Each structure stands twice: as C-alpha cells, then as structure tokens.
Amino acid sequence: MQYKNPIKPSVVDYQFGFSSAVESDRVALGLTEETIREISSRRNEPDWLLQWRLSAYRNWLTMTEPRWANAQLPAIDFQSMRYYAAPKKRPRLGSLDDLDPSIRDTFEKLGIPLTEQKHLANVAVDAVLDSVSIATTYQEELRTYGVIFCSFGEAVQKHPDLVKQYLGSVVPPNDNFYAALNAAVMSDGTFVYIPKGVKCPLDLSSYFRMNDAETGQFERTLIVADAQSEVSYLEGCTAPKRTTQQLHAAVVEIVANKDATVRYATVQNWYPGDEHGTGGVLNYVTKRGRCAGTRAKISWTQVETGAAITWKYPSVLLDADDSEGAFYSVAVTAGHQQADTGTKMIHRGKRTKSTIIAKSIAAGNSTSTYRGLAAIAPTAENAQSHAQCDSLIIGPRAHAATFPTLDVRTPTARVGHEATTTKLGADQLFYLASRGIRTDEAVGLLVNGYCREVTEHLPLEFAVEAKRLLALTLVGTVA
C-alpha cells in the first residue's frame, strides 16, 4: 500500500510519551538459550518452568515469522532487542511505601495511584513496568475471599500447582510464532484464581507500562475462574515515545469452569508512532479463553486506539455445552497506524452461543481490518453465532477491510454475519457545527455514538476513559 504524504500531522500529541529515568537490571541484547537461562534465574524460577521456556524457544527457532496480516509489517531483528529489564530497587512485595519514587511518580502521571491512600476505589491494580510487576493492591483483602490476584512471577513461587495445571492449556507454546516467543521469554503478567462459587468483590486490573528503550514486553496473564465464580478484569497499557519500534508480544489465557463468568476488557493505548509513521509499538498478541465447563461465559471487550500495528484475535473455545463467548471491539487507526484484528469463536459444545460486535474506524493514512472466524464443529448441535461488523472510514486516504469466515458443519446451527460501512455524515457534522460545536468535538460525539454498542460493555470508569481516548485519537482527522 502506498501512503501519500500527509498534509498535516493527524496524530495527536501522545500524552503518555514521557519516559522515566529508572535504574534497570538488564540482560544483554539478543536472544539465545543463555538469555533464557539468565531470565529464569533472575526470576528465581523452578526448573520445570525453565525447561518449559527452553522447549518453547527451541520450537520457536524452527518457526517462520508470519507475514499474512493485511498490513505492511516491518522487519524485526530479533537479535537487536532486549528481552528483560527489571527496575533495580525492587520493593518488598506488599509494601507499597518502599516504592522507588520515580516509579511511583510514573504511575501517578498515568493516573494509576499505587499508594495505599489513593487506591482506585473498587479496583485492585497490578502494575507492571517493563518486565516486572511493581505492585499489586488489595491483595490481602482479596485473599480473605480465597481470590488469588498477584503477579505471574509471584504465582510461580507461591502457587506452582495451579500454574502448572493451567499454563499453556489454552495457548500452547507452539500455537504460533509470537506465542512461542512469549513462552520462551515471558516476563511478568498477572495471575488470577477465583475459587468455586466466589463472585470477586473487586474489579481486577493490570496496567502495563513499557519504559526501557530497546526492550520488548512479553507479559503472560493467566486467569482461572473455578465453577460458579465470576470476575471482571481490565487491562490498560501505554508506552513512551521512541523512534524505534518496540515489540509487545503478550499471551493471555482464560479458563472458565462450569457456570463461571469472566469478563476481560482492554483499553489499549500503546504509542502509535509519530506523524511519519516512525516508531510505535508492535502489538502482536495471542489472547484466548476456554469455556471448559457447561454454561461457562467468557467475554472480550477491547478498545484499541494505539500501537503502530495491532495484530490480535481474542478468541473463545466454546468446548462445553451451553457455553457462551462474546467479542466487543472498537479498533481505531489514524496517522499511519494499521490494525488487523478480530476474533475466532470455535463452537464444539451443543447449544453454544457467540456474539460479535466489531467496529473499525480508519482515519488519516491508516488501515483498519476486521478478520473473524465462526467455526461450528459437527458436535455443536443447535449452536448459534451472530456477528455484526461495521466500518467507518474518515478521509480520502484511509482504508478498511472486513474478512469474516463462517465454517459450518452442523445443520441445526444458526450462524449469521452482517457488515455495513458508513462515513461521517456531512449533514450531521454541519448540524453540530450550527449548534456551536467544534469539528473535533463533533467527530468525537459521532464516533462515540457509533461505538456505543461496544463501549457499554466496559465498566463505567473505563468506559469514560475509553471514550475520551477514542475522541482524542481522532482529533485533527476531519478538516
């Protein structure tokens, strides 16, 4: 695809672009077996996990980098990246007063207060800077409910049986190139376990912040909801402005047992690159949930506004009878961003249901692509799947594409897919202007109206944040 020179910058000043001077422990650049042993040793990991990493790494070496996304993918030199950087002064776990002030300030600037007095009400936060979890709030309170909410690293130390049981059960290490890489060099992420019958009393959230230059982020998140439990989880992320691209290859696995419900929401705002398309985060993520028990429910809600390239398909394996999967997505691209995102709903159980609502918005010189799959196996009698994908194109140089696949192997299944395209109504914009509303504000209003069916699935505080981000990303896109 040829991009014409933009007349004016169409990417708003990325307000999270600051970087913090934090002393870090780093491994050498490049990736060899040594690097992996080094990472594993610095994290004090048991041998079984080191072996798991090494096996994934050896597998990764045999795989070829995929290039099939509907995007211009940059070449990645895997040997010129750093795979681990941990802030030097590590606080004792659970004692937030020992936080390195520069780290505490970083998160405060991002609006994520970590000190006890300023906790976000009703939301427990696990803050991750580069490769390590810095702090996890509300851990003690949650423990009284039997809920485990901690960094992945802590889970490996304190709950190895649970980790062993579920790690790789939904996204095996050889699943795809970036999942294999993640399995080899995974850094911190979040571990959640909700015991039988417990409705988690707080929303859980993780906040990922990339800081160190040249370092990729490879977090691993594992959420296990035991029978009849319920949890809502939110993931937020930002990164500083850099002139080189940074790789974010995360893996998220969710297991929902009988009658359990997991709601996972992401508001993604990685640095998108500058007005010339230089820099920005490469967001190549594998996210998948497995409905392992009857009537389990997993929903993915995502608002993707950042990253230079977003390449991810949060999916649900509807293995058990009567289980349900949902995917609600808004993918906005402006400037030179590219997104190729969507979902896969794999129906194996009887009477399983999936719902997909995806909105793609492309402005500037960007491309926003939806790619989806609804697959109904012969065992999935009476399954139902419905998808609604809409594209909104703003401006003469933006591109949008929709690539759904419906693969049906059972006659009693009801599968439907609809897609429409729209543009911003000139008469609507004029009407708003005639009422004194500035173009940028008007665009924000119209776009948020367009995305309402998706944003209404976000918890309230995050819906507000998401809407603000949506409007912000599109500032300057309509002349």
Partner 1 sequence: MSISEQASRSVLANDVVRELITAPTDKTTSITVAANAHYYVSILLIGSGVQTLAITLAGENASATIAALLLSKNDEQAELVVTVMHQAPNTVSRLTVHSVANNNSSIAVNGLATITEAGSGSDADIQFRSLLLSPSARVKVKPEFTLAVDDVACKHGAATGPLDQAAITYCATRGIDALAATRLMLSGFATLCYSAAPADKLVAMKRRVNEWVTQNYVHTT
Binding mask 335-374 for partner 1 (x = CB under 8 A): ----------------------------------------
Residue 84: beta bridge partners?
A: none
**Inter-residue contact 413 to 376 (CB < 8 Å):** yes
How many H-runs (helices) and E-runs (strands) does the chain carry? 10, 23
308 three-class SS = coil
> Which region, judged by CB under 8 A, interacts with partner 1, from 111-119, 306-314, 390-398, 441-449?
390-398
Residue 369: beta bridge partners?
A: 340, 401
Nearer to partner 1, 279 or 444 (CB): 444
**Inter-residue contact 169 to 255 (CB < 8 Å):** yes
**Inter-residue contact 93 to 43 (CB < 8 Å):** no
Considering only residues 403 through 432, tell me which ones interact with partner 1, judged by CB under 8 A: 403-421, 423-424
Binding mask 45-74 for partner 1 (x = CB under 8 A): -------------------------x----
Nearer to partner 1, 72 or 115 (CB): 72
In the complex, the smallest distance separating the C-beta of residue 241 from partner 1, rounded to whole angstroms, is 29
Task: Please select the residue that binds partner 1; options are 27, 69, 237, 394, rule is CB under 8 A.
Answer: 394
Q: Give the CA count within 13 Å in the CB-facing half-sphere of 174.
A: 6
Residue 221: beta bridge partners?
A: 252
In the complex, the smallest distance separating the C-beta of residue 125 from partner 1, rounded to whole angstroms, is 40
Cβ-Cβ contacts under 8 Å for 464 (sequence gap 6 or more): none
Nearer to partner 1, 399 or 468 (CB): 399
Nearer to partner 1, 1 or 75 (CB): 1
In the complex, the smallest distance separating the C-beta of residue 89 from partner 1, rounded to whole angstroms, is 51
What single DSSP character describes residue 278? -
- Centre a 10 Å sphere on the Cβ of residue 339 and count the other Cβ atoms it contains: 30
Task: Please select the residue that binds partner 1; options are 9, 378, 425, 449, rule is CB under 8 A.
Answer: 378
User: Strand 324-333 to strand 297-304: parallel, antiparallel, or no bridges (unpaired)?
Assistant: parallel
**Inter-residue contact 170 to 52 (CB < 8 Å):** no
In the complex, the smallest distance separating the C-beta of residue 1 from partner 1, rounded to whole angstroms, is 9
In the complex, the smallest distance separating the C-beta of residue 445 from partner 1, rounded to whole angstroms, is 18
In the complex, the smallest distance separating the C-beta of residue 310 from partner 1, rounded to whole angstroms, is 18
Nearer to partner 1, 121 or 479 (CB): 479
Nearer to partner 1, 167 or 387 (CB): 387
- Report CA-CA distances (Å) from 70 to 199, 342, 399, 400, 424: 40, 12, 11, 10, 24
In the complex, the smallest distance separating the C-beta of residue 358 from partner 1, rounded to whole angstroms, is 14
Nearer to partner 1, 306 or 395 (CB): 395
Give how many residues touch partner 1 by CB under 8 A. Answer: 33
215 three-class SS = strand
> Which region, judged by CB under 8 A, interacts with partner 1, from 134-142, 218-226, 330-338, 398-406?
398-406
Task: Please select the residue that binds partner 1; options are 54, 63, 120, 401, rule is CB under 8 A.
Answer: 401
DSSP H stretches of helix in 116-270? 139-143, 152-158, 160-166, 177-185
**Inter-residue contact 342 to 375 (CB < 8 Å):** no
In the complex, the smallest distance separating the C-beta of residue 394 from partner 1, rounded to whole angstroms, is 6
Nearer to partner 1, 133 or 368 (CB): 368
Which amino acid appears at position 102 of this protein?
S
What single DSSP character describes residue 28? P
In the complex, the smallest distance separating the C-beta of residue 296 from partner 1, rounded to whole angstroms, is 24
Point out which residues bind partner 1 (CB under 8 A). 70, 378, 391, 393-396, 398-421, 423-424
